[in-house]
Amino acid sequence: MFIDTHAHLFFSNFDSDLEQVIENALNAGVTKIIVPGTSIETSNQSISLADKFECIYSTVGIHPHDTAAWTPDLIYELEKLTKHPKVVGVGEIGLDYYYDFSPKEKQIAAFKEQIALALEKDLPVIIHNRDANEDVMEIIADYDGRGLRGQFHCFAGSIKDAGYLAEKGYYISFPGNVTFVKAENLRNVLKSVNIKNLLLETDSPFMTPVPHRGKRNEPAYLPLIAEKIAEVHNLSIEEVAKATSENSYNLFGIREKSDNLTYTYRIGNNLYINVTNRCNADCVFCDRKGEAVIRGYNLKMKKSEEPEASEYIKEIGDPSKYDEIVFCGYGEPTIRWEVVKKISRFVKNNGGRTRINTDGHGSVINKRDITPEMKELIDTVSISLNSTDPKQYAKLMRVDPKMHAEMIDFAKRSKKYAEVVMSIVGLSEVDTQKAKKFVTEEVGVNFRQREYF
Ligand code: SF4
Ligand SMILES: [Zn+2]
Ligand SMILES: [Zn+2]
């Protein structure tokens, strides 16, 4: 199916019918939509949309139009936003000398500093370029060989530039203007770009394709652009859909739900290890027994399908490539503590870092204090606090209230052997401030509020 990599659904002309717009998109086979932010405010709006709609992903960035008030401090704001699990890139960023809403120097500084952020976070960039081709290409050439990945959206460069960018592994996309009758030049550029380097985008609410020109654009019109690409490249529309979806997966890490069970999966620069689907708890907010899908990865695993440590190790390869190897998934990893230890030993012997995301019931589950066994194997223990109140904890997790004390004890003991973080999901009934105070002052470990998992 189709992925719209560029739709500004936070624009006010979607306010009254956004739910309908999403439904239209899904009905047209557009199953994923990336909403690029253009300022701090719209980046936050894009994240809210990603929270609300499963099919929406977000990227955060300051558009060249919004860089008049650029200060380097904004990087910290953006950096915070990149931590949201549905933020899949930095953008849109770039240069726009056509409108010239912001001074050139500001635009260039903002562009470069946001590229640096993307490199630091190993996120792709989404680049906007209007009448600034020379400067954009020069800046991009400066990053040659430094691992920069990205998309040139609403491409208006030459065949030569497109060739250079494709050779460097960048992706290129054309919105509805490629369907305009007089856009023969644009179609020639499109023809020159291999399908392996193309993405689909609408640039909604702008650039409405024929025959809806003049109306507000929306993601449901994406197949019209895919059709034009199919025609120019002499492919079927299915082939265009398949190739561009695969490209979106390669660049942004988002993809269609897979039926194949996933043992390891990548988010950002971490590799997550799906150890088990089993758990001693039954949290009210957990989708463990439901679809158990994260970012399109199917984590639903029967006990009989649980792989041996050696299989995970094969999939990990070189652990030093990643920031962290994280034991996670929809299940409690300490249920397979021996496997976790074996994998961790391999990771630590090969220069990697390990983190275990746990409910903190590992010692009860294994009927012995397992915390000393973490020594030199587990770098970080991330424990779900869920609530400071044992009764509420028991109700949320559907466990015995005494498990709250067990979990706190586990956290305190773990401190001797690893860095400990306690976290809560941002549930409204939980008092975040109280939780933070409790964690840092009474348990004496780090606190984090997390969104999903
Ligand atoms: S502890 Fe984790 S895996 Fe287990 S039910 Fe709760 S959220 Fe799901
Ligand atoms: Zn743009
Ligand atoms: Zn845009």
Nearest-CA residue for atom 8 of ligand 1: 286
Nearest-CA residue for atom 2 of ligand 1: 331
Domain membership flag for residue 259? no
Task: Show the domain range for 311.
Answer: 264-450
Tell me which ligand sits closest to the C-alpha of residue 217.
3
Cα 282 to middle of ligand 1, angstroms: 6
Are 289 and 436 in the same domain?
yes
Domain boundary among 215, 230, 252: 252
Nearest atom of ligand 1 to the alpha carbon of 288? 8
Are 194 and 268 in the same domain?
no
Domain membership flag for residue 257? no
Are 193 and 286 in the same domain?
no
The pLDDT of residue 453: 41
Are 413 and 439 in the same domain?
yes
CA distance 67 to 96: 10
Domain membership flag for residue 349? yes
Are 243 and 313 in the same domain?
no
Domain membership flag for residue 42? yes
Domain boundary among 230, 252, 274: 252
Nearest atom of ligand 1 to the alpha carbon of 453? 7
Are 76 and 188 in the same domain?
yes
CATH of the domain at 56: 3.20.20.140
Domain boundary among 252, 282, 306: 252
* CA 254, chain centre distance (Å): 7
Tell me which ligand sits closest to the C-alpha of residue 393.
1
Tell me which ligand sits closest to the C-alpha of residue 6.
3
Tell me which ligand sits closest to the C-alpha of residue 95.
2
Nearest-CA residue for atom 7 of ligand 1: 286
Ligand 1 mutation target, pool 328, 383, 397, 403, most atoms within 8 A of CB: 397
Protein residues whose CB sits closer than 6 Å to any atom of ligand 1: 279, 281-283, 286, 288, 330-332, 359, 397
Are 87 and 230 in the same domain?
yes
Are 237 and 285 in the same domain?
no
Domain membership flag for residue 276? yes
CATH of the domain at 317: 3.20.20.70
Domain membership flag for residue 258? no
Nearest atom of ligand 1 to the alpha carbon of 329? 3
Cα 409 to middle of ligand 1, angstroms: 19
List, as ranges, residues with CB under 5 A of the ion ligand 3: 92
Domain membership flag for residue 172? yes
CB 267 within 8 A of CB 274: no
Are 187 and 314 in the same domain?
no
Are 355 and 248 in the same domain?
no
Cα 237 to middle of ligand 2, angstroms: 25
Are 278 and 206 in the same domain?
no
Nearest atom of ligand 1 to the alpha carbon of 282? 5
The pLDDT of residue 432: 80
Kindly list the averaged pLDDT for each block of 10 residues, start to end, along the chain of length 453.
Answer: 97 96 97 97 97 95 95 95 94 93 95 97 96 96 94 96 96 97 96 96 97 96 97 92 90 76 84 95 86 76 92 95 91 97 98 97 98 98 92 94 97 97 70 87 89 48
Are 163 and 221 in the same domain?
yes
Cα 94 to middle of ligand 2, angstroms: 8
Tokens matching residue 103: 């001074």
Domain membership flag for residue 438? yes
Tokens matching residue 232: 């120019």
Cα 92 to middle of ligand 3, angstroms: 6
List, as ranges, residues with CB under 5 A of the ion ligand 2: 128
The total number of structural domains in the chain stands at: 2
Nearest atom of ligand 1 to the alpha carbon of 330? 3
